[in-house]
Amino acid sequence: MGKRILAVDDSKTMRDMVSFTLKGAGYDVLLADDGVNALNELNGQMVDLVITDINMPNMNGIELVSKLREDPKFRATPILILTTESDDDMKNKGR
């Protein structure tokens, strides 16, 4: 089985594009449309990477990263933030 990646974005178009690209490269892809659903999707599953947007309803990407880092299972999981956010303060929070 290939590496598993969780992609989180409230835009269906972005989720579809990321999923298509990653699956084409041989990855197993889980999808969620916000942080709350991402945590539900993980529900006991491990992933090798999380890719998340920042601006999402219910739980944004920054809050999701914080929740994942609180969980010992995901403390060392690589997380990429993929966003069109241009605000410097938000970019710094993402770092």
pLDDT in tens, 19-54: 999 999 999 999 999 999 999 999 889 999 999 999
- What is the helix (H) or strand (E) element at residue 52, kind and residue range? strand 49-52
Mean pLDDT of the chain: 90
pLDDT at 85: 59
Q: Are 8 and 53 in contact (CB under 8 A)?
A: yes
Tell me 26's DSSP state: T
Is the pLDDT assigned to residue 13 strictly greater than 60?
A: yes
Nearest partner of 7 among 70, 17, 44, 18, judged by Cα:
18
In this structure, what are the phi and psi dihedrals at residue 6, rounded to the nearest 5 degrees? -100, 120
**Bridge-partner residues for 67, per DSSP?**
none
pLDDT at 48: 97
pLDDT at 12: 96
Nearest partner of 85 among 53, 62, 42, 58, judged by Cα:
53
